[in-house]
Amino acid sequence: MSPLSYSIPQRALHWGMAFLILFNLLFADGMEHWNRLVARGETVTPDDVASANIHAYVGIAILVLAVVRLCLRFVQGVPVASDVEPLPLRLVAHITHGLLYVLLFAMPLAGIGAYYFGNETAGFVHADVLKILLWVLLAGHVAGALVHQFYWKTNVLARMTKGV
Helix, strand, coil percentages, rounded to 5, for the chain:
75, 0, 25
Q: How many Cβ atoms are within 10 Å of 14's Cβ, its own excluded? A: 14
Smallest separation, CB 77 to ligand HEM (Å) = 10
Decide: is 66 part of the binding site for ligand HEM (CB under 6 A): no
Question: Quick one: CA torsion of 116, 120, 122, 124, rounded to 10 degrees?
Answer: 130
- Residue list 89-148, contact with ligand HEM (CB under 6 A): 97, 100-101, 107-108, 111-112, 114-115, 123, 126-127, 131, 138, 141-142, 145
30 interacts with ligand HEM by CB under 6 A: no
Give the nearer residue to ligand HEM in terms of CB position, either 46 or 59: 59
Closest CB to ligand HEM among residues 51, 141: 141
Q: Give 158's DSSP letter.
A: G
Q: How far is the CB of 103 from ligand HEM (least distance, A)?
A: 7
For 4, list phi and psi in degrees, rounded to 5. Answer: -80, -25
Amino acid making up residue 41: G
11 lies in the site for ligand HEM, by CB under 6 A:
no
Which residues lie closer than 8 Å to 115 by C-beta, 6 or more apart? 31, 52, 56
d(CA 164, CA 160): 9
**Binding flag, residue 157, ligand HEM (CB under 6 A):** yes
What's the residue count for the chain? 164
What does the binding site for ligand HEM look like in residue numbers (CB under 6 A)?
Answer: 14, 18, 21-22, 24-25, 28, 31-32, 35, 55-56, 59-60, 62, 73, 78-79, 81, 97, 100-101, 107-108, 111-112, 114-115, 123, 126-127, 131, 138, 141-142, 145, 156-157, 159-160
